[in-house]
């Protein structure tokens, strides 16, 4: 609650009500009496499906279906509000855009994650940081935009992320997630407001995928390809020495002066070498990162379509 110096209440928010959805998932619902705004916090997709292995790009339909579900659980929401929500007349304060990639096995997913933590950077955000749970974060504390990468199969083993025991096809879901590498983009209020996307009505069918691609494009993942003997011979001697030092695992930002670092980096980039990214300590088991990240994204399996495991807002409506 916010009260002005004159004693007038400027802003007030009632205590959130936890509304249970599918299985153990819940949404926190509250209301601001002064502005007459309904606030919904949580993961609507998980609320309906009982898991978040996949979702929907239909932001308007998902929001409208959520309000309809809240009404079915006893909340009083005017019909005109529900109709307006389906037309995009609501605000978004945060949205998570995700995609999963098949790697072939859990070890490959974990190895790719390890390599990404060692060599990748995010434009304007620098290198990522690994949390205790194994998640790789880029710009973790940004108020605008952040990216996190993790092995989905491993996450489902954590106590707070285990799938409900009674969930339909639970074993199949766990098997499906086992080899998946998940890259998640989190867009917060400041970014959405500055992009004109705080109002859901400004979203179209392709907005989510476009925003995701735009954020992922900021990840800089160097190729792990070795220079051939001929290519090495073509390098000027001074560049060859810098390349060999970098290849041995030295951090060139520390080894060279700032001016020399950027001069050498610009020259070596012409040969496809980025000395701004340290080499992995162990190159014996390197997963070709670009192959993994640029492979065909994992699709919703056929056995899940048409079941409660795959919520399609418009189809349900």
pTM of full prediction above 0.95: no
Q: Do 124 and 272 have their domain in common?
A: no
Q: Do 41 and 124 have their domain in common?
A: yes
116-170 confidence digits (pLDDT tens) = 887 788 888 888 898 988 899 999 999 999 999 999 999 999 988 999 999 999 9
Q: Is residue 267 one of the residues assigned to a domain? A: yes
pLDDT of 291 over the 50 cut = no
Q: Do 299 and 267 have their domain in common?
A: no
Question: Using a CB cutoff of 8 Å and minimum separation of 24, what contacts does 66-71 make?
Answer: 66/27, 66/40, 68/317, 69/21, 70/19, 70/27, 70/29, 70/40
pLDDT of 280 over the 70 cut = no
59-102 confidence digits (pLDDT tens) = 999 999 999 999 999 999 999 999 999 999 999 999 999 999 99
Secondary structure in 3-state letters for 179-229: CEEEEEEEEEHHHHHHCCCCEHHHCCCCHHHHHHHHHHCCEECCCCCCCCH
Query: To the nearest whole number, what is the mean pLDDT of the chain?
Result: 85
Q: Which of 181, 190, 183 is nearest to 215 (CA)?
A: 183
Q: Is residue 185 one of the residues assigned to a domain? A: yes
Q: Do 138 and 9 have their domain in common?
A: yes
Q: How many CA atoms lie within 13 A of 79 on its CB side?
A: 0
190-245 confidence digits (pLDDT tens) = 999 999 999 999 999 899 999 999 999 898 876 544 555 566 777 888 888 888 88
What's the pLDDT at 163?
A: 94
Q: Which of 166, 149, 183 is nearest to 25 (CA)?
A: 166
Q: Do 27 and 174 have their domain in common?
A: yes
Q: Do 36 and 63 have their domain in common?
A: yes
pLDDT of 8 over the 80 cut = no
Q: Do 261 and 150 have their domain in common?
A: no
Q: How many domains does the chain have?
A: 2
Q: 73 near 66, Cβ under 8 Å?
A: no
Domain of 123? Answer: 2-220+290-316
Give the C-alpha separation, 316 to 65, whole Å.
8
């Amino acid at each position: 609650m916010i009260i002005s110096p004159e004693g007038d209440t400027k802003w007030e928010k009632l205590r959130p009500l936890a509304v249970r959805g599918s299985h153990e998932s819940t949404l926190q619902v509250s209301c601001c009496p002064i502005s007459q705004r309904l606030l919904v916090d949580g993961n609507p997709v998980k609320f309906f499906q009982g898991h978040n292995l996949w979702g929907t790009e239909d932001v308007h339909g998902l929001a409208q279906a959520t309000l309809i579900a809240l009404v079915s659980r006893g909340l009083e929401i005017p019909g005109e509000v529900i109709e307006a929500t389906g037309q995009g007349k609501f605000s978004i304060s945060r949205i998570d855009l995700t995609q999963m990639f098949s790697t072939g096995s859990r070890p490959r997913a974990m190895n790719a994650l390890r390599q990404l933590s060692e060599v990748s950077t995010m434009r304007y955000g620098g290198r990522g940081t690994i949390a205790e749970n194994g998640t790789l974060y880029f710009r973790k504390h940004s108020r605008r935009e952040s990216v996190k990468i993790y092995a989905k199969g491993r996450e489902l083993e954590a106590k707070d992320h285990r799938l409900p025991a009674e969930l339909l096809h639970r074993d199949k879901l766990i098997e499906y997630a086992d080899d998946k590498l998940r890259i998640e983009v989190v867009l917060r209020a400041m970014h959405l407001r500055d992009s004109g996307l705080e109002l859901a009505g400004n979203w179209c069918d392709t907005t989510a995928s476009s925003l995701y691609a735009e954020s992922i494009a900021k990840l800089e993942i160097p190729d792990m390809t070795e220079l051939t003997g001929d290519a090495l011979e073509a390098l000027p001697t001074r560049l060859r020495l810098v390349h060999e030092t970098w290849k041995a695992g030295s951090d060139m930002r520390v080894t060279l002066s700032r001016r020399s670092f950027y001069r050498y980096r610009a020259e070596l980039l012409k040969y496809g070498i980025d000395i701004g990214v340290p080499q992995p300590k162990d190159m014996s088991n390197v997963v070709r990162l670009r192959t993994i990240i640029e492979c065909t994204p994992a699709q919703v399996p056929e056995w899940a379509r048409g079941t409660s495991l795959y919520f399609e807002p418009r189809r349900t409506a």
